[in-house]
Amino acid sequence: MPWLTLPVAAADHPRVAVSIAPLHSWVSQVSGDLWEPDLLLSAQVDPHNAILRPSQRQRVEQADWVVWVGPQLETGLEALMRRVEPARKWTLTEDDVALVRHEFRRAGELFALPEESEDHGLDIDFPGAEQALPRHGSGTDPHLWLDPENAKRALAHIADHLSELDPANARNYQANAESAIAQLTESAAVWQARLDAAEPRAYVVFHDGYQYFDRRFGLPFAGAITLNPEQLPGLRTINEMRSAMADNTVGCLFAEVQYSDRLVATIGSGLDLDIQRLDALGAAIEPGPDHYHQLMTDLVDSFASCA
């Protein structure tokens, strides 16, 4: 039985379902006081493994538009999203909108500065440099929302699409997007100034999910402990990584919230490292229009403290 897509007029506004909280924040900024989009996945849930409840699947089936990152991130949504016709969804990792996109980088490569620079900074030989990514494979790194330039481009695209779905409120959508983009431009300048002043040291991360952030702000990335967010490193890898970090070139070890305190302590034990937690989704931040700004501000605070 084909799915029924209700016309916008029947609901008085577009029905929009969004996969993760940062993207939901973008849509919320554009929709403003007119209506709220549906958030499918809580920021406390790992999007790689998330499975939708029947009520959430129904929201997708009845939505006028579904916004998600793509199968590299929301793996549990892939089968469902294959059944959503292209006109009713926006997949950020695809090429229909001109977003900044980066390929997955390898464990030992250094991307401390933009690609056009010949100065690659630190020379640290981390284990796993020649490994292909076992889970994600090749292709687009899906953490696109961590680049504020992508946020600005996305806000403009969201306003254009909502204006097509709901022409009666097109002026409101465009005005909301313009205001959000202007505010984000100001915030990004503040974030850049804060990070430039702090001069953060090189960082190592458990799972390399922050290249959009460190590339945009020119931060020194030294290496990733694991390429697969679901596969913990073995003892040999841990020892090799500890040896590579022992010369104090690296200043910070960032661990995502899903990794155990014991594992983090084991890797950082005896090293002069600032060990912190990072959260690319904002699990402790309330969903809504302000979510994205607070998420990015928290990340800036974390990286700025790595000095």
Confidence bin at 225 (pLDDT 50/70/90): confident
89-93, 108-112, 163-167, 279-283: which range is least confident on average?
108-112
pLDDT digits (tens, 9 = 90+) for 187-216: 999 999 999 999 998 888 877 889 999 999
Between residues 221 and 169, the one the model is more confident about? 169
* 181 backbone dihedrals φ, ψ, rounded to 5°: -65, -40
For residue 157, is pLDDT > 60?
Answer: yes
User: Which pLDDT band holds residue 260 (cuts at 50, 70, 90)?
Assistant: low
CB neighbours of residue 284 within 10 Å? 12
The answer for residues whose C-beta is within 8 angstroms of residue 88's C-beta and 6 or more apart is 5, 63, 64, 65, 66
Q: Which of 115-124, 159-168, 198-207, 277-286 has the highest mean pLDDT?
A: 159-168
pLDDT of residue 226: 64
pLDDT for position 171:
98
Give pLDDT, residue 188: 98
Sheet holding 202-207, edge to edge: 221-226, 202-207, 250-256, 274-278
Lowest mean pLDDT among 80-84, 156-160, 254-258: 254-258
Residue 2, pLDDT > 60, answer no
Q: Cα separation of 120 and 101, whole Å?
A: 20
How far apart are alpha carbons 156 and 72 in whole angstroms?
Answer: 24
CA–CA dist 89, 262 (Å, integer): 41
Report pLDDT for 45: 83
Region 278-292: mean pLDDT is 95
pLDDT for res 131: 39
pLDDT in tens, 83-132: 999 999 999 999 778 999 999 876 444 322 233 333 333 344 444 433 33
DSSP class of residue 201?
Answer: P
Q: What angle do CA 26, 29, 30 make, to 5 degrees?
A: 90
- Whether the pLDDT of residue 7 is over 50: the answer is no
- Between these two residues, 79 and 253, which has the higher pLDDT value? 79
pLDDT of residue 124: 43
Percentage of residues of the chain with pLDDT beyond 90: 54
Does residue 237 carry a pLDDT above 60? yes
Q: Give the mean pLDDT of 278-298.
A: 96
